[in-house]
């Protein structure tokens, strides 16, 4: 017998046979309301006619062009649009096939920047505990997801770590928000000094943490402080916007809301909204100019770089977001959604925190909201929520267990930007049901 390898080798998931708008349907005829866009991917919902048409047109004209031989109009136009809409002088775009690839490319471009600048000794990246930057070895090394790292530790490069900006759990009662933020920045500075600033390549962080914490934005001033430290010590700031970028938080780039310009930005997921596998790295002028004026070659590359059909899908997605004013819709609907969630769960004993920006929202589940005591990770409450949600015909993206030595159960919600108020109300109704059932199942 031959088998497709699924993530869980003992379990075959339902077979998806069709998807339209907010809904997916399986081969048994059951429909699922997609409240997580898969894993914060499907920002336009499913089967959007404009995106399908753009892909089809591109397939008919040139379905593949190796980037070592050709460029294409769609790839150039996509790069132009991403750079034009990006903050500051993030004027350069490198197109890959997904988020992990984007992170790998960002790490390598950052390293090459220093090698070509005559500083080949620089090798240290700094990242935050409870972060996720992808599953390839470089990206896995950067992230702090213990479960995903455990078996591969010996293969991973050393990365210096600092605390995440995780106010709900880490700010001691009574501590001023500014003092909490200053403490985090002091730790980052300490880590830079410990490694020797002359050895550090860069600091990488998600502007709004997704897959390990569930939509946790930074505290006010945190990223301004990060930018200032990176400038002071001459290291690069890499923003991982694979999950939180491309409109998910109400601005095209999540970091816009923090008022700083990173040196490199990694994109994925929402870039082509799942219609094609696409990722990108944006780089500032000074990064690319140094390599252009040095060796002239970025020592990297994949067979599917700047794939024309993928670029056509991403370009169409970006045009729809602009034409249909979806960034504004995300901001407005996001506020409504959080209000609905607060109405449903605000007094729930087992919901400790409801947080997020735009349509990127997280719920943290706890045994007791007053003490914030998490559930025993062995209960796998997050997995029970996913199972019960699927039973209720709802897709949410829970995560949990032990992450970097810390317990937690989080539910990430990332509905498509086209969600109506009625859709969001239905999400909350089904989620209430799923959470209630999951709590019974694990007790
Ligand atoms: N970076 C972040 C912040 C992510 O959330 C993810 C995926 O969840 C990745 C990188 C990796 O992206 P991909 O799964 O497309 O390789």
Examine the pLDDT at 83 and tell me if it is beyond 90. Answer: yes
Ligand 1 atom closest to 209 (CA): 3
Quote the tokens at residue 419. Answer: 């969600």
Among 162, 170, 256, 278, which residue's Cα sits nearest to residue 208?
256
Measured from the Cβ of residue 349, the count of other Cβ atoms closer than 10 Å reads 12
Rg (CA), the chain: 21
104 CB near ligand 1 (under 6 Å): no
* pLDDT at res. 443: 84
d(CA 73, CA 311): 9
The domains found in the chain, sorted by start residue, are 16-47+325-442 (3.90.1150.10), 49-324 (3.40.640.10)
Contact 317, 43 (CB under 8 A): yes
Q: What ipTM was reported for this prediction?
A: 0.99
- Pick the most confident of 211-220, 345-354, 371-380: 345-354
128 CB near ligand 1 (under 6 Å): no
d(CA 321, CA 251): 11
DSSP labels, 357-412: ETTEEEEEE-SBTTTTBPPPGGG-HHHHHHHHHHHTTEE-EEEEEEETTEEEEEEE
Q: How far is the CA of 240 from the centre of ligand 1 (A)?
A: 9
What is the pLDDT confidence band of residue 3, given thresholds at 50, 70 and 90?
Answer: confident
Examine the pLDDT at 375 and tell me if it is beyond 80. Answer: yes
Q: What average pLDDT score do residues 116-129 get? A: 97
Instruction: Report the mean per-residue pLDDT for the chain.
Output: 96
Q: What is the tens place of the pLDDT at every residue in 306-345?
A: 999 999 999 999 999 999 999 999 999 999 999 999 999 9
Share of the chain above pLDDT 90, in %: 92
What is the pLDDT confidence band of residue 405, given thresholds at 50, 70 and 90?
Answer: low
Q: What average pLDDT score do residues 238-246 get? A: 98
Half-sphere exposure (Cβ direction) of 94: Cα atoms closer than 13 Å:
25
Burial of residue 331, with CB atoms counted within 10 A of its CB: 0-12 exposed, 13-18 middle, 19 or more buried:
middle
* pLDDT at res. 402: 67
* pLDDT at res. 404: 59
Nearest Cα residue to atom 1 of ligand 1: 133
* pLDDT at res. 212: 85
Nearest Cα residue to atom 5 of ligand 1: 243
What is the pLDDT confidence band of residue 130, given thresholds at 50, 70 and 90?
Answer: confident
What is the pLDDT confidence band of residue 172, given thresholds at 50, 70 and 90?
Answer: very high
* pLDDT at res. 2: 76
268 CB near ligand 1 (under 6 Å): yes
| Candidate of 40, 132, 207, 216 to mutate for ligand 1, largest count of ligand atoms within 8 Å of Cβ | 132
* pLDDT at res. 361: 98
Q: For the CA atoms of 398, 403, 407, 409, what is the dihedral angle to 10 degrees?
A: -10
* pLDDT at res. 163: 95
Examine the pLDDT at 243 and tell me if it is beyond 70. Answer: yes
* pLDDT at res. 26: 98
Phi, psi of 278 (to 5 degrees): -140, 145
Examine the pLDDT at 401 and tell me if it is beyond 80. Answer: no
Q: What average pLDDT score do residues 160-172 get? A: 94
415 CB near ligand 1 (under 6 Å): no
Among 341, 432, 423, 430, which residue's Cα sits nearest to residue 394?
430
Distance between alpha carbon 289 and the CA centroid of its chain, in Å?
28
Q: What is the tens place of the pLDDT at every residue in 85-122?
A: 999 999 999 999 999 999 999 999 999 999 999 999 99
277 CB near ligand 1 (under 6 Å): no
Q: What average pLDDT score do residues 65-74 get? A: 96
| Candidate of 99, 128, 362 to mutate for ligand 1, largest count of ligand atoms within 8 Å of Cβ | 99
What is the pLDDT confidence band of residue 408, given thresholds at 50, 70 and 90?
Answer: confident
Query: pTM for this one?
Result: 0.97
d(CA 175, CA 405): 24
What is the pLDDT confidence band of residue 156, given thresholds at 50, 70 and 90?
Answer: very high
Measured from the Cβ of residue 324, the count of other Cβ atoms closer than 10 Å reads 14
Judged by average pLDDT, the poorest of 9-13, 133-137, 232-236, 390-394 is: 9-13
Share of the chain above pLDDT 70, in %: 99
Among 17, 46, 48, 44, which residue's Cα sits nearest to residue 30?
17
């Amino acid at each position: 017998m031959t088998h497709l390898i699924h993530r869980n080798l003992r379990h075959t998931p339902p077979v998806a046979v069709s998807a339209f708008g907010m809904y997916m349907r399986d081969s048994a005829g059951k429909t699922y309301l997609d409240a997580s866009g898969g894993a914060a991917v499907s920002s336009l919902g499913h089967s959007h006619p404009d995106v399908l048409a753009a892909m089809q047109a591109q397939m008919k004209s040139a379905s593949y062009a190796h980037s070592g031989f050709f460029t294409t109009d769609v790839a150039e136009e996509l790069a132009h649009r991403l750079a034009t809409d990006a903050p500051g002088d993030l004027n350069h775009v490198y197109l890959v096939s997904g988020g992990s690839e984007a992170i790998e490319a960002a790490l390598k471009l950052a390293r090459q920047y220093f090698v070509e600048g005559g500083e080949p000794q620089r090798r240290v990246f700094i990242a935050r505990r409870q972060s996720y930057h992808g599953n390839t070895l470089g990206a896995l090394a950067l992230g702090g997801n213990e479960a995903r790292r455990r078996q591969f530790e010996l293969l991973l490069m050393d990365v210096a770590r600092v605390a995440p900006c995780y106010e709900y759990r880490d700010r001691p009662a009574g501590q001023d928000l500014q003092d909490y933020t200053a403490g985090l920045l002091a730790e980052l500075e300490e880590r830079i000094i410990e490694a020797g600033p002359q050895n550090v390549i860069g600091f990488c962080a998600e502007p709004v943490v997704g897959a390990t914490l569930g939509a946790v934005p930074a505290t006010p001033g945190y990223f301004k402080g990060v930018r200032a430290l990176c400038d002071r010590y001459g290291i690069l700031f890499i923003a991982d916007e694979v999950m939180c970028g491309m409109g998910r938080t109400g601005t095209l780039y999540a970091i816009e809301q923090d008022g700083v310009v990173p040196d490199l930005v990694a994109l994925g997921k929402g870039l082509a909204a799942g219609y094609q596998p696409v990722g990108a790295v944006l780089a500032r002028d000074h990064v690319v100019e140094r390599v252009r004026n040095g060796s002239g070659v970025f020592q990297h590359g994949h067979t599917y770089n700047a794939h024309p059909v993928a670029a056509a899908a991403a370009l169409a997605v970006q045009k729809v977001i602009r034409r249909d004013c979806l960034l504004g819709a995300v901001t407005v609907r996001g506020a409504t959604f959080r209000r609905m969630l607060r109405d449903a769960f605000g007094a729930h004993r087992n919901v400790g925190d409801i947080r997020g920006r735009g349509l990127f929202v997280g719920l943290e589940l706890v045994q007791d909201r007053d003490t914030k005591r998490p559930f025993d990770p062995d209960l796998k409450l997050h997995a029970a929520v996913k199972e019960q949600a699927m039973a209720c015909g709802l897709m949410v993206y829970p995560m949990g267990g032990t992450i970097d030595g810390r317990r937690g159960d989080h539910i990430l919600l990332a509905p498509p930007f086209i969600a109506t108020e009625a859709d969001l109300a239905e999400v909350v109704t089904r989620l209430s049901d799923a959470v209630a059932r999951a709590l019974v199942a694990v007790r």
